[in-house]
Amino acid sequence: MGLLDRLLGRRAPQPADARPLTGPEAIDRWRYLLRTAPAEALGVGHVEGLAALSAEASAPMLHGLRRALSALEPGTVVPSAPDVLIRAAVRAERTAPGFLERTLAAGARGQETLGALAGAVVATGTLAPFLRGYDAELGADGLADRRAREFDVEGGPDSDSHELDDED
């Protein structure tokens, strides 16, 4: 936007997605990131997202993660440092998909807690490049569904036929 535009009161065009995300929208994008982003980027993004939340919001999350990690692997030492704890939880998500969502959604304010962290994680600059393939209309599972159609070995690309021909 140039000086002339500012003087004339013109505004820069706003992207359609400039509005704040609702809880379910943030959770859907977060689920997509859990499936597509590399583990290291997820760890950094979750640490940054947690740091963006208030201490009152993050304390119950950390407590729940600490408790769930100790139940997941009894006898192991669960880290107390938030950044190490978050990275351990992200690793647990890779080995037991759904771990983070089940843990964060548990409790009286579960969906609110999950939505808060999901919104903070999705807003980080670290994970923004991994959201480029996200399609809001298809949701978190849309990319996998699209790939399955495009690479149908039996029927060729974008084939609608999923039946095998029986030859006698």
User: Is 165 a member of any domain?
Assistant: no
Residue 74 within a domain? yes
Residue found by looking up tokens 């997605």 in the block: 17
Distance of CA 167 to the CA centre of its chain: 45
Count of other CB atoms within 10 angstroms of residue 62: 17
Name the domain count of the chain.
1
Residue 63 lies in a domain: yes
- Residue 111 in tokens: 């969906």
Domain that holds residue 128: 26-144
Which residue, among 134, 144, 50, has the nearest Cα to 89 in the 3D structure? Answer: 50
Neighbouring CB atoms inside 10 A of 17's CB total 9
Give domain status of residue 39, yes or no: yes
53 within some domain = yes
Q: Kindly report whether the global pTM for this prediction surpasses the value 0.85.
A: no
Q: Is the pLDDT of residue 147 over 60?
A: no
Residue range 62-108, pLDDT digits in tens: 999 999 999 888 888 888 899 899 999 999 998 899 999 999 888 76
Question: What does the pLDDT average to over 104-126?
Answer: 86
130 within domain boundaries: yes
The stretch 100-121 carries a mean pLDDT of 86
Q: For residue 156, tell me if it sits in a domain.
A: no
- Which stretch of DSSP H or E encloses residue 83? helix 82-95
| Residue 152 forms part of a structural domain | no
